[in-house]
Amino acid sequence: MSMTFASSDADALPLHVVHQGEFGSWLSAQPQVVKNWIEAQDFTPAVGKAILVPDKTGNPAFALIGYGNALTRSRTRFPLAAAAANLPQGTYTLATTLPDGDLETETLGWLLSAYLFNRYKYKPHKSARLVCPPGVDSARVEAIAAAEALTRDLINTPASDMGPADLEVAAQKLASRYEGAVNVITGDALLKQNFPLVHAVGRAADRPRAPRLIDLRWGTQGPKLTLVGKGVCFDTGGLNLKPGASMALMKKDMGGAATAMGLAHMIMALQLPIQLRLLIPAVENSVSANSFRPGDILTSREGMTIEVNNTDAEGRLVLADALTLASEDSPDLLVSIATLTGAARVAVGPDLAPYFCDDTEVCHALEHAAELVSDPVWRLPFWSAYEKMIEPEIADLDNAPSGGFGGSITAALFLRRFAQNQRYVHFDIYGWNPSNAPARPKGGVGMGARALFQALPNLLAI
């Protein structure tokens, strides 16, 4: 697959993008032979429609794709990519101006439409390549596409090949590529260096899959941004074992780490003038004689005690220690990204990235950016009235309050305790596209990372 723009090519076919409301006037302006061909093909300018139009010799003269109308485009992300998937292999150059603000996002969608996860099975894949249109920063769009491909590859890889050690290797490769530095604390060293929750959750896994805290740093000047990504490489549920149906997709429970790593890739590739830190508590929540148990009381790095009411609410535990470490460095912005709760999926479905934040400036910048880049987010509340739901009788905090009400909110409130009054954003993402869509095939997917990247200049004043 090629997720880069094609070189400028004199033989590239012109690509005409036609809006539904303008199709009649466009068609009437064409030569009769062109009108006859298009009408014979029964072409309509709906999203995803694409045909080649021949010249008098029978060779392709140009490509024609539908762009629908405002209503259909509002219901489909990356409409240009929908048509790209239906064009034959070749090189194309845009001959039509797209609406203001759409060009960078639409060309990104075109590149993402070439994504294919074929690590385990060969799949032939045609590629309709696009010449970078004037006014589009090709390096920026290609870097964002590469970052999204990294996120998808990490999530799509099964836990047999994407355990904590493999996630560490991925972080090392990323840091090496951009001259960053990685420090890793593994196994019982987590106890010695006071990361007891990361150790407790991951200690049941066998030694090659020992728990670890991955700490990547890049950049020495500018404001500080710290990303914390949940790296639960597989979640059995622990002793509160998940049923089989609920365990089927648990290779994606490191989707927060994968998304944070994709965002880090964007930042480093495009040399944003910031001090970046990426923290990934990487564990496998396994079942063994030394698994942590329901009813256990654990003490966090911060010193708060936590009653374990469900070992399947492990993500917030490992994030708690990582957030405490992040807060000790007083970043200008602290962001956690996690596939944390089923409650978030019930609330907003798989397509939206719900987030929590108390800072109005951050929320406005994030939501404006999300709209610009077609990476939708939705704010949920840090509803302080629910704080009492996470405060049990015999410990400071409860990792899984009974009743199930407001599950995503109570998890976010739990994490906020460890963010320690930093400027903080928490994403509770799904990290998985359940069905094929333009530029977003079924499987792992980044959520919220592009919106964050777009918003960073405003959030960090860079």
The residues annotated with a catalytic role in the active site are: 242, 316
Beta bridge partners of 444: 432
β-strand pairing of 90-94 with 128-130: parallel
The residue among 28, 25, 71, 23 whose CA lies nearest residue 49 is 23
Report the alpha-carbon distance of residue 87 to residue 117 in Å, rounded. 20
- Do 180 and 249 meet the contact criterion of CB atoms below 8 Å apart? no
Task: Identify any residues that bridge with 66 across adjacent strands, giving them in sequence order.
Answer: 18
The first and second tokens of residue 247, run together, are 């365990």
- Select from 269, 15, 236 the least CA-distant residue to 140: 269
User: What is the Cα 148 distance to its own chain's centre?
Assistant: 7
For residue 70, give the H/E element and its range. helix 70-74
Q: List CB contacts of 72: < 8 A, sequence separation 6 or more.
A: 20, 46, 47, 79
Distances from the Cα of 325 to the Cα of 137, 232, 427, angstroms: 36, 18, 18
Distance from C-alpha of 252 to C-alpha of 443, rounded to nearest angstrom: 9
Rounded to whole angstroms, the Cα distance separating 356 from 345 reads 14
Structure tokens at 299: 């003490």
Residues present in the chain in total: 462
Distance CA 96, CA 113 (A): 20
Closest CA to 19 of 123, 90, 107, 97: 97
Using CA atoms, how far apart are residues 363 and 377, in angstroms rounded to an integer? 10
Q: CA-CA distance, 221 to 242, in Å (whole number)?
A: 45
Residue 274 and residue 267 in contact, taking contact as beta carbons nearer than 8 Å: yes
Closest-CA residue to 438 (of 194, 75, 1): 75
In sequence order, the 6+-apart residues with CB closer than 8 A to the CB of 106 are 78, 79, 80, 81, 98
Is the four-CA dihedral 310, 314, 315, 318 of positive or negative sign? positive
Helix-helix angle 255-269:164-177, to 10 degrees: 10
